[in-house]
Copies of this chain bind each other. A is one copy, B any other.
């Protein structure tokens, strides 16, 4: 028996790119960004950076909600590293989210990050890719 999924619709948006790697990507009546090839020294952002900005914001916002639910202020810092690599499978992005939550025990931070990983919609989209890792760090320089 197929299980029907029920969704409550909350928000929708659309992003447009007609230019390819060199040009502009934009939200109608919203943000427009200049894009350029990551390996060329021309001004502009690229899919790697935009994905990193999306995931870091989603994880940070989700951690903020979890922190507040547990009586904490928002302390979590999120850094998302995106690498473009080439293999026999073609081009791939490897995505690592590193998270530091100051003034909290390591095990409490791990618990919060684990919850965030399962709740943040961008994290959920990436979780079956085989190219996504989440790390709790005590120090970003480690």
User: Which residues of A does B touch, CB under 8 Å?
Assistant: 5-21, 25-27, 30-31, 33, 35, 37-39, 45-61, 63-64, 74, 76-88, 90-95, 118-119, 121-122, 124-132
Contacts and interface: CB of A to CB of B under 8 A. Distances in A.
How many copies of this protein are present in the complex? 2
B46 A57 contact: yes
B56 A15 contact: yes
B87 A17 contact: no
Contacts of A35: 57
A56 B53 CA distance: 15
A131 B125 CA distance: 7
A37 B37 CA distance: 30
Contact of A60 (B19, B45, B92, B94): B19
A88 to B, nearest CB: 8
Contact of A57 (B25, B84, B122, B127): B25
Contacts of A122: 47, 51, 93
